[in-house]
Structure 1
């Protein structure tokens, strides 16, 4: 799935961390997820208005910057796919394979957040 487009195997360059830039990026690489993104954005903005706080909006931006990072990088996308499959294959958290699978899933998400520059706390 890696491309020879000068982006080091990335499908598109990393977008800015703004709602518009993230939406445009997602439309290019995973348009099937746009409805999910919009639904979560509406929820975040409603919570922000209800609680007079920016935390929900920051959390939404962090989540979607991470998701776009995973979607635009075939290496991360594949690692997450394998980790999710491994978690689902365990059947329960009592399975000895559950913890390593969850650790890998968390590692992928942490790498994506770090690369996308979303280290702030909400």
Structure 2
């Protein structure tokens, strides 16, 4: 995404609010190929929320996609994640390096979730 402006800290875009419109707009900038996936999941989640009379599924949807965008908007994180995912796919599960790759995937995802968990946008 070299055509995108780089904001402070090497970020492609500022961190969006966790509202659906803000998340959708941010995803369109950093990973437009995932918009259909987000829309399909949104439909499922909103149906679940309606059936269960709970906002829990919607809150989890927002946190998940905010974390995905957090990674995609930061070249350092997306690079770490993609490298770890590639290693995990290429290595044998008995190889200790496979576990290290999976730990790296988890660390990136957990860090992104923690970064956005209390954020309201910047």
TM-score for both structures, normalised by structure 1: 0.87
Mapped partners of 1:21, 1:46: distance in 2: 21
Mapped partners of 2:8, 2:76: distance in 1: 13
- What is the CA-CA distance between 1:36 and the residue it aligns to? 0.6
Q: Secondary structure at the match of 1:17?
A: coil
Correspondence for 2:19: 18
After the TM superposition, list the runs of 4 or more consecutive aligned residues in structure 1 that deviate by more than 6 angstroms.
1-4
- Unaligned 5+ segments in structure 2 are none
Correspondence for 2:78: 77
Q: 1:100 to 1:118 in 2, by over 3 A?
A: farther
Superposition pairs for residues 19-34 of structure 1, below 5 Å?
19-34=20-35
Query: What's the C-alpha RMSD, in Å, of the aligned pairs?
Result: 1.9
Query: CA-to-partner distance for each residue in 1:41-68, whole Å, 9 max, x for gaps?
Result: 1111111111112121111101100001
Count of equivalent residues: 118
- Unaligned 5+ segments in structure 1 are none
Q: Secondary structure at the match of 1:12?
A: coil
Q: Secondary structure at the match of 1:105?
A: helix
